Every structure is written in C-alpha cells, then in structure tokens.
C-alpha cells in the first residue's frame, strides 16, 4: 500500500487517502488522454473509441484532419478553445487562412453511440488512409487516429535515440537530483 508523505513544518506525516484525489497532478492526468490502442473501423465506417476515453467524449467530439497523415479528435470543449484561439489569428495572413481551412473545413461533429462508436466521414478516412485496422493514440488534450501503417512509420521516426535526446533536452525534464 502506497501513501503520500508530506511535511507539516516540524515532522513528516502520511497524508490521508482523500488528499490524494485533490492533488493537482492526479487531476491533470485524470483529464488527459493517454495510451495507445489498436482498434477496428467497421464496414459502416464507425470507429470504436477506447473505453478509457468514452466518458470524456460522451457529450460529443469533433474529428478533423491531423497535421501528419492522421486524424485529431477533440472534446467539444477543447475544440471550442481552438475556435477561440483561431479568432486571434489575422484574417489577412495567408498562412492563418490556410490553417483555418485545414482544420475547420474537414471537421466533423460526432457523438459516440451506446457502444462507444463514432462515424468517420469518407473525406477524413481518405485523408488519414484509414482502412479497417487503426491505432487510437492519447496525446494529452486530444486523441489521434492513425492507420496501422502510418502509426508504424511514426513510431519508427519517434524511436530515434539521438532525436529523442534532443527532444527531451528541450523539455528540461531533469528532476534536479
């Protein structure tokens, strides 16, 4: 059994279990999409959402093109934040207009059915080259959907030790020990 150990000023104590649920880190992780799941798209173009993600998407989601050859699934709340940020972009900047077109023109609202499935529109399925076997990836505040081949290629790129060393150095993840 694990306990959280805290300091009261003079001596150490074991924190009550109730305090664990109030910790900011647990709350942040609880609101994040994490993990890698292999799923199938059925013959009606429906994707089953991993069980761990369903509660967060129960009120609906927005599926749109990803920046690589994938799809991004946002909660309606996160997509609303994206819309607000897009209003800050200059309408006179061609790059901004292209980005808005890329994200919003391909976007599709969806609500999971009782079995946790969402419909993937044909244009989005084509964009990500999705066949029946797909990977559903939790990446923090959103979910990515990849074709099996696309995810295998992405994993190969991500598993470069030298590139990872540079990526982690930029994040400064040292614990100070």
Query: Closest by alpha carbon to 101, among 149, 65, 145, 150?
Result: 65
Phi, psi dihedrals of residue 173, rounded to the nearest 5°: -90, 15
| pLDDT band at residue 6 under the 50/70/90 scheme | very low
The rounded radius of gyration (Å) of the Cα atoms in the chain is: 20
For residue 146, the surrounding DSSP H or E stretch is: strand 143-147
What topology is assigned to 32-171 in CATH? Chemotaxis protein chec (3.40.1550)
Q: What is the pLDDT of residues 69-87, one digit of tens each?
A: 999 999 999 999 999 999 9
Cβ contacts of residue 123 below 8 Å, gap of 6+? 106
Which residue in 108, 111, 141, 166 sits closest to 30, CA to CA?
141
Q: Record the tokens describing residue 84, joined without a space.
A: 């607000």
User: Which of 18-32, 53-67, 90-104 is predicted with the least confidence, judged by mean pLDDT?
Assistant: 18-32
Residue 21 is encoded by which pair of tokens? 């649920």
- Token pair recorded at residue 164: 């990872």
Q: d(Cα 157, Cα 165) in Å, to the nearest integer?
A: 13
Pairing of strands 108-110, 61-65: antiparallel
pLDDT of residue 172: 77
pLDDT per residue as tens digits for the range 32-56: 899 999 999 999 999 999 999 999 9
* pLDDT tens digits for range 79-124: 999 999 999 999 999 999 999 999 999 999 999 999 999 999 999 9
């Amino acid at each position: 059994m694990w306990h959280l150990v805290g300091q009261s000023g003079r001596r150490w104590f074991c924190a009550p279990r109730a305090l664990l649920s109030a910790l900011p880190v647990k709350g942040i992780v609880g609101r994040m999409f994490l993990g890698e799941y292999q799923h199938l798209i059925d013959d009606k173009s429906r994707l089953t959402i991993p069980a761990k993600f369903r509660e967060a998407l129960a009120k609906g989601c927005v599926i749109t093109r990803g920046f690589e050859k994938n799809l991004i699934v946002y909660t309606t709340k996160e997509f609303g934040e994206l819309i607000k940020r897009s209003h800050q972009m200059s309408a006179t900047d061609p790059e901004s207009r292209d980005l808005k077109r890329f994200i919003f023109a391909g976007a599709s609202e969806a609500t999971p059915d009782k079995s946790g499935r969402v419909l993937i529109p044909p244009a989005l399925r084509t964009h990500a080259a999705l066949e029946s076997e797909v990977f559903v990836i939790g990446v923090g505040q959103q979910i990515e959907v990849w074709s099996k081949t696309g995810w295998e290629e992405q994993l190969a790129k991500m598993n470069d030790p030298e590139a990872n060393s540079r990526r982690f150095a930029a994040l400064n993840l040292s614990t100070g020990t």
